[in-house]
Amino acid sequence: MKSWRPDVFSKPDTSLSPPFEDSPARPLVVRFRESFRLKQVFTALRYRNYRLWFWGQMTSLFGTWMQSTAQGFLIFELTRSPAYLGYAAFAMGIPTWLFMIYGGVLADRMPRRTLLIITQSIMMALAAILAALTFLELVHAWHIIGLAFGLGVANAFYAPARQAFVLELVDREDMTNAIALNSAMFNSALALGPAVSGIIYALVGPAWCFAINAVSYLAVIMALFLMRIPPQPNSLRRNSVRADLKEGMHYILNHRMIRALIGIVGLTCLFGISYITLIPAWAVNILGGDATTNGILHSARGFGALLSALMIASLGRFQFKGRLLTLGSFIFPCLLLIFSVIHWLPLSLLTIFFVGIAAMLIFNLANALVQTLVTDELRGRVMSIYSLAFFGLYPVGSLWVGLLAEHINEPFAVIVNSVILLGFFILIRIFVPKLYDLS
C-alpha cells in the first residue's frame, strides 16, 4: 500500500538502483562495491509518512536509550548484583511470551497506527512513574522490575505493529532501505543516548534521564497523528483469534527459510546480545569505571551498529542479503570472544564497536528477508513470532548470563555464550545452505 502522494517531493527516484545486472557467481566483495551508493542511503526518506516516522522515532528512541542506560546502572547501584540486571530484563520479557503472538493478531485486525499510538502512550506513562519515584527518592529495585514488566506488556503489542507498519510507509522495493534506516535511527539514538545519560546521571542523577524519556514519547505520538495513511481493509470479521494464530503458526512451520531466519535471530538474542545486560557490571568490575564508562560502552556499540545500518541502506535494492547475513553470523560470536578477554577500556571500546557492526548485519538482514518472503495478509502474525524470538529470548539469555556472571564472572559468561552461538551458526550453515543464496 502506497502512503506517499504521487508528486515530485514524495515519489522515490528509481534511478538510484545500481545499473548493473547482479549475478550470484560474482564475489561478495565485488557485488558489495558495485551496489554501494551513498546517495541511496536515505531513499526511504523521500516518502512523507516515513520522514515523520523517522524523526519522531529518532527523538523517542534517544530518550529510551537514556532511560535504559540509567535504569541498568541504577539497579546495579541499588543491589550491586549482576543477577538483578538479568532479573529486570527477564521481567520485561515475560509479557513477550504471554501476549506477543496476540499482538500480531491485533496488528492484522486493527489499524496499526492506532495500536502504535496506544502503546506509545502507555510507555510514556510508565517512564513518568519511574521518574516520579526516583525524584521522590522512593525507588527500589522491585519498582524497576515491576515497571519493566509493564513496559514489556506494552511492547508485546507495540513490536509486531511497528515491524509490520513499514510497508504502510514505503513501497515494497524500498522496504530493505526503510528497515535499514529504522536501525540507523535506533542506533543513532543508541550512539548518543547512553553517553548523554551517563553524563546526566553523574551530574544530576537518574531521575532526569527518566523524565526526558517520558517527554520524548510525545515526538513519535505527534508524528503518528500527522501521517496520511490510506484506510486499511477491515478484517475483524475474518476468523476467530485462535484460527488466526493457527494460520500464522502453520505458515511459519511450513516455510523453511523463514523458520531459519527467525531461528538465527532467536539464537543471537539468547546467546549473543544478552551480553549487553552485563555492561553496567563490566564497566565497574572489569574496567574499574563508573556510570560514564557504562554510557560510553553502550555508545561505542551504538556507533558500530549505526555504521552497519547506514552501510546496508547504501546498498539500495541489492541481491546478496543471504551472503552478508552469513558473514555477520560468523563474525559476531568471534568478536564477542575477543571482547571477553580484553580488560583495557580503549581496546574494549574498539572491539564493542565492531560487535555492533556484526550484530546489525544479522538483525537488519534477517528482518528484511523475512519481510520480503512473507505474504501481506500474514505479515503482522509472522512479525509477532519474529519479535517473540527477539524480545522473548533476549530476557531469557539475560537471566542466564546474569546468573552465570554472578556465580563465576562476567568474562566467563560471555565466552560460554559466544562458543555456543558459534556452534549453532555452523550447524545452520551446514543444514540450511540455501540461506546463503537468499536475495
Domain regions of the chain by residue span? 39-230+238-437
pLDDT of 350: 95
pLDDT: which is higher, 321 or 210: 210
Question: How far, in Å, are 120, 186, 258, 362, 366 from residue 104 at the CA level?
Answer: 16, 22, 16, 22, 18
pLDDT digits (tens, 9 = 90+) for 91-125: 887 888 888 888 888 887 888 899 999 999 999 99
Q: What's 223-246 look like in SS3?
A: HHHHCCCCCCCCCCCCCCHHHHHH
pLDDT of 316: 54
Q: Residue length, the chain?
A: 439
pLDDT: which is higher, 281 or 1: 281
CA distance 40 to 365: 17
pLDDT digits (tens, 9 = 90+) for 218-248: 999 999 999 988 766 555 445 677 787 788 7
pLDDT of 135: 94
Q: What's 92-150 look like in SS3?
A: HHHHHHHHHHHHHHHHHHCCHHHHHHHHHHHHHHHHHHHHHHHHCCCCCHHHHHHHHHH
Mean pLDDT for 386-397 is 83
pLDDT of 20: 41
pTM of the full structure: 0.70
Q: Which grid cell is 352?
A: 564493542
Q: Can you state the angle between helices 410-431 and 256-267, rounded to 10 degrees?
A: 170
- Range in 1-15, 207-221, 373-387, 393-407 with the lowest mean pLDDT: 1-15
DSSP summary character for residue 86 = H
For the chain, what percent of residues have pLDDT higher than 90?
28
**Highest-confidence segment of 5-19, 192-206, 301-315, 374-388:** 192-206
CA dihedral 189, 176, 221, 59 (to 10 degrees): 20
pLDDT of 423: 95
- Range in 138-152, 245-259, 368-382 with the lowest mean pLDDT: 368-382
pLDDT range class, residue 353, cuts 50, 70, 90: very high
**Highest-confidence segment of 2-16, 49-63, 72-86, 379-393:** 49-63
CA distance 393 to 397: 6
Residue among 293, 332, 322, 314 nearest 201 (CA)? 293
pLDDT: which is higher, 417 or 399: 417
Mean pLDDT for 152-163 is 88
Dihedrals phi, psi of 5, to nearest 5 degrees: -80, 140
User: At the top level of CATH, which class does the domain 39-230+238-437 belong to?
Assistant: mainly alpha
Q: Which grid cell is 366?
A: 534477517
- Range in 225-234, 348-357, 391-400 with the lowest mean pLDDT: 225-234
Q: Is pLDDT of 324 > 50?
A: yes
Question: How far, in Å, are 19, 44, 60, 328 from residue 28 at the CA level?
Answer: 17, 25, 36, 13
* CB distance 51 to 43 below 8 Å: no
pLDDT range class, residue 78, cuts 50, 70, 90: confident
Residue among 229, 11, 35, 194 nearest 116 (CA)? 229
CA distance 55 to 226: 12
pLDDT range class, residue 32, cuts 50, 70, 90: very low
CA distance 435 to 63: 36
Residue among 2, 116, 18 nearest 60 (CA)? 116
